[in-house]
Amino acid sequence: MMKRYIEICKPLWTLLPEGTIHEDERLCKHTYTQMGGAADLFITPQSYEETQTVLKFAHEHRVPVTLLGNGSNVIVKDGGIRGITLSLKKLNTITCTGVELVAQTGATIIEASRRARDAELTGLEFACGIPGTVGGAFYMNAGAYGGQIADVLESVLVLTEQGEFKTLSKEEFDFDYRKSVFSAKRYIALEGTFRLQKGDMAQIQAKMDELTIARETKQPLEYPSCGSVFKRPPGMFAGKLIQDSGLQGTRIGGAEVSKKHAGFIVNVDNATATEYMSLVRHVQQTVKDKFGVELETEVITIGEDIEEPVSD
């Protein structure tokens, strides 16, 4: 029987304001794919200090902490998440001063790109259609259409796993393709400062419109998904390999390899995470058999499988 942490965490109720802790929260409400079981405890702090309190408590009592952004690059398994699932969505203010944009990491990166446009700052247009939070974008070094977070991020305030504040500068981010110091060291990013450039609002808007049309034309945005499921293999495109393997339209349960964009697996009919992941593995095996290429997932799988009932 998998250990649950609700009892151990009872003292947290006295340390955090009412409405911050949610017991047995269904995570399908918080993931872009609309899949996933329940979190023992889903905590939504409203300040950096409350976030620190949670982390210090968890560290002291050895309670696992899982951080969820907008859930647009994760598959939460059907058994849900044990311990604390932390959401920083209430920490979402964005301010612009001169050429700097400071965003709390619970804000969406789409909103950050719009706020940059409103302040006539160029550099974040590439992010105008990436459906994650600012924190998720740091973790993944999110990028699109030739731009990426690494190009514009200047400094980030983080909490370590032990609950200590720390400010990281550009040199410490270790950004690579869908990788960063945030993924390597499990830092919780709280707030980031972007350095942008003065631009022309009409030109910024025109660029955002162009990228939005490109996205809407190519991507199956009408269905829940987690975007591109697989990383680009060196010198190739995962979507092309999947398309050439004849996999588009293949279904397991309610999960389907998109007919519009082969790199996406969409939830067309109440798919479970188990069905979705079976289809991911089927795609990987088929592409390997056909082309000898191992597709690595870009999407991150978290949580537990459903426990089988124990028979006497």
Ligand X SMILES: Cc1cc2nc3c(=O)[nH]c(=O)nc-3n(C[C@H](O)[C@H](O)[C@H](O)COP(=O)(O)OP(=O)(O)OC[C@H]3O[C@@H](n4cnc5c(N)ncnc54)[C@H](O)[C@@H]3O)c2cc1C
Please list every residue from 26 through 85 that binds ligand X, using CB under 6 A.
32, 67-74
Contact between 123 and ligand X (CB under 6 A)? no
Taking the complex as a whole, the smallest distance from the CB of residue 207 to ligand X amounts, in Å, to 15
Any contact of residue 173 with ligand X (CB under 6 A)?
A: no
Distance in Å, CB of 298 to ligand X, minimum:
7
The rounded distance, in Å, linking the Cα atoms of 93 and 220 is 30
How many positions of this chain bind ligand X (CB under 6 A)? 32
Cβ neighbourhood burial of 145 (10 Å; 0-12, 13-18, 19+): middle
Nearer to ligand X, 152 or 201 (CB): 152
262 in contact with ligand X (CB under 6 A): no
The CA-based angle 31-35-36, given to 5 degrees, is 90
Helix (H, G, I), strand (E, B) or coil at 66: strand
Alpha-carbon span 273 to 172, nearest angstrom? 35
Q: Nearer to ligand X by C-beta: 12 or 88?
A: 88
CB nearer to ligand X: give 10 or 170.
170
Catalytic residue among 87, 113, 228, 258: 228
- Which residue of the set 87, 125, 178, 180 is catalytic? 178
Shortest distance, position 309 Cβ to ligand X, whole Å: 31
Cα Rg of the chain, angstroms: 20
Nearer to ligand X by Cβ, of 143 and 199: the residue is 143
* Residue 113 engages ligand X in binding (rule: CB under 6 A): no
The 10 Å Cβ neighbour count of residue 174 is 15
Both tokens of 269, joined, read 């009919």
Sheet-wide strand order for 255-257: 251-252, 255-257, 265-267
By CB under 6 A, tell whether 102 contacts ligand X.
no
Q: Is 180 a catalytic residue?
A: no
For residues 271-300, which are near ligand X according to CB under 6 A?
300
- Which is closer to ligand X, CB of 9 or CB of 226? 226
The one among 28, 89, 107, 139 contacting ligand X by CB under 6 A = 139
88 contacts ligand X (rule: CB under 6 A): yes
Check if 50 is active-site: no
Please give the single-letter amino acid code of residue 83: G
Give yes or no for residue 130 binding ligand X (CB under 6 A): yes
Report whether 111 contacts 120 (CB < 8 A): no
Q: Residue 43 and residue 51: Cα distance in Å, rounded?
A: 9
Name the residue nearer to ligand X (CB basis): 83 or 131: 131
- Output the smallest distance, CB 208 to ligand X, in A: 13
47 assigned to active site: no
How far is the C-alpha of 214 from the C-alpha of 208, rounded, in Å? 10
Q: Cα–Cα distance between 54 and 15 in angstroms, integer?
A: 9
User: What is the sign, positive or negative, of the torsion defined by CA atoms of 198, 199, 200, 202?
Assistant: negative
**Smallest distance from ligand X to CB 124, Å:** 13
193 binds ligand X (CB under 6 A): no
**Ordered alpha helix ranges (H), the chain:** 12-15, 48-60, 109-118, 134-140, 181-185, 201-218, 238-244, 273-291
Give catalytic residues, as residue numbers: 178, 228, 298
Site residues for ligand X per CB under 6 A: 32, 67-74, 88, 105, 130-133, 135-137, 139-140, 142-144, 182, 188-189, 219, 221, 225-227, 300
